[in-house]
Structure 1
C-alpha cells in the first residue's frame, strides 16, 4: 500500500527552509509555515542554478491556530531564535513526532523536545542566498538526513525529488565535519568582513584557521577517539571551493543580526569546558561575535 506523504509544519522559511519545503512539496508532502505575525500565504520565488524561476506558495498558520498535535516538524530557523520559536509548540509535540532539524551547528534543540523524541538531522552542501521573497539556489549539492532509527517510510520517495539526497544511520561524522568548517570559515569571515577565500590567501587568517581547527579536533577526539582529526585541509578545500561566497555569519553581522556563533564555536567551547580543555581561539570567536 503506498505511503501517504506527511504534513510538515515549518519553522523558518528562510533560504534553506524554503528550498527544503520546495523539495518536500515536489514529493507530495504538505508544508505549512508557522509564523506569529501573519496567516497570509507565504509567496516565494526560487531561482534555480540553471536560471529557471520557480514560484513557491506555502500556507501559513499562527501558533494559536495549529492543531493540537504536530506529527512532523521541520526546524530551519536560525539557531538564536529556536527557543522562543519552539515555546508555543512544545505542548503539541510528543514522543512520536518526527522533528527534522535543518540548522547550522549543534545543540539548538537540546532540552526543547519531549522525552523519547529524537530529532532527525539534516546536513547539506547546497547553497542558497537572498532575502524574502527571492531566494537564489547557488548550488544543488549533496544532502544527508539521518538519525538513530531506520529511514522513515517517506524517505525513499523523497529521494526522487530532492537532488543527491542520502540517508546516514550515523550522521554524527558528517555533522562534525561541517561543524569544524563552519567554526573556522564563519567566524573569521564575519569578524574580518572578508569572503571565504581570504582564509587561504591571508597568512594571518590561515594561522587563526589552523588554531581553530586544532582546538576543534582535540575536543572531538576526546568525545570520540575514532575522530580522525587533521581537519585543516578539508576546511581550506571548502574555503577555496566557495572563495567568492559570503558566509551566513558574515551576512548576519553585516545586517546587525544575531549570529549562530553559540551553536557553532559556542558548542565546541561548552564541550571543552565539560572536558576541562583549553580552547582560547574558539572562545575568542564566541566573545567577539556575541551581540551585547
Structure 2
C-alpha cells in the first residue's frame, strides 16, 4: 500500500529515501502539483536524487508524519477525511502530544519514532550529517512491529523496533526540555550550557522539576535528567538546538510539545513546575 509523507523536510526526505529503497509507493500528503526533486548527500560523498510524487487525493492508510510538532494539527486536519478506519500513523517528531485532540479514526494505530539522525538543507540539496539510531514502537509495547514497518526496517540504517518507546521518549524529552529553551533564550550553542553558572542553575531547576513529575508518572523513573542533559550538551557542544534555530528564523518553536507537555501532565496531577512555566511563557509556540 502507498505511504503518504506529511512533511518533506530534512528527516522526512531521508526516510523517504528508505521507503524508495524498500520499493514502497510514496506520495507527498497535501502537496499537489508536479513531483518534488530533492538531492541527498552523504558524508562519504555519495549522492542520490529523489523524485517525490505529489498527492493523489486517495484514501490514506499509511501516513508518515515528520512535520514540526507545532505545525502538525494545521497540516493534518485537511487530510482527516481521507484517513482509513485502520490508518497507520508513524510520528517522527520532537516532543509529545502533537496528535492530541485530533479526531482520528477509532481504529488508528500510532507508531512513535525517535531518531538521532541528522541532516541540514540547502535549497533542494540535503546534507546527511549522520544516520544514527532510530527507535520505533507503540504505546501498547507491542513485541512485534506491524507488517508495513517490518518491511521497512531492513532498509532503514540504525532503525529497530522498541518495546519501551514511552520511556525512551521521556528520556529524550526531559533532556530537550533543559537544553532547548536555555540555548534558545540565551542564543548560544549547546556547549555553553556547561560553562556558565547561571545557565547551569537554570538547567538544574528544569531537570529537577522534570524528574519530580516523571517520577509521579513512573515510580521507576531514574531521576538523572540534569546529568544526562549536561552530557548531551557536552557531546553536542557546537550544535544549535532546534528551538534556537526556530527562534533565530522568527518561527514558532516546539516549546508547547516539550516543556508545555510536561506542564499539561503536571496540571493533571496538581503539580507546579515554575521553571518550565517561565520557559513556555518566554518562547513563541
User: C-alpha separation between the residues in 2 aligned to 1:237 and 1:95?
Assistant: 43
Aligned length: 281
User: C-alpha separation between the residues in 1 aligned to 2:26 and 2:237?
Assistant: 34
User: C-alpha separation between the residues in 2 aligned to 1:51 and 1:193?
Assistant: 32
In the TM superposition, 1:36-115 aligns within 5 A as 36=31, 38-61=32-55, 65-67=56-58, 69-112=59-102, 113-115=104-106
Quote the offset at 1:131 in angstroms. 4.5
User: C-alpha separation between the residues in 2 aligned to 1:75 and 1:96?
Assistant: 16
In the TM superposition, 1:187-226 aligns within 5 A as 187-226=181-220
TM-score under structure 1 length normalisation: 0.92
1:270 and 2:264 aligned: yes
Contact 2:86–2:105 (CA under 8 A) maintained in structure 1: no
Contact 1:49–1:140 (CA under 8 A) maintained in structure 2: no
Deviations 1:32-66 (A, max 9, x none): 11244x412111121212222221220012xxx51
Structure 2: which 5+ residue stretches go unaligned?
none
1:13 and 2:8 aligned: yes
The two structures, once aligned, show a CA RMSD in angstroms of: 1.5
User: In structure 1, the residue corresponding to 2:13 is in which secondary structure?
Assistant: helix
User: C-alpha separation between the residues in 1 aligned to 2:85 and 2:215?
Assistant: 31
Deviations 1:233-282 (A, max 9, x none): 11111111111111111111111011111011100011111111111111
User: C-alpha separation between the residues in 2 aligned to 1:159 and 1:119?
Assistant: 17
User: C-alpha separation between the residues in 2 aligned to 1:181 and 1:165?
Assistant: 21
Q: Corresponding residue for 2:161?
A: 167
Contact 2:133–2:158 (CA under 8 A) maintained in structure 1: yes
User: C-alpha separation between the residues in 1 aligned to 2:257 and 2:201?
Assistant: 23
Q: Corresponding residue for 2:150?
A: 156
TM-score under structure 2 length normalisation: 0.94
User: C-alpha separation between the residues in 2 aligned to 1:165 and 1:280?
Assistant: 37
User: In structure 2, the residue corresponding to 1:32 is in which secondary structure?
Assistant: strand
Structure 1: which 5+ residue stretches go unaligned?
1-5
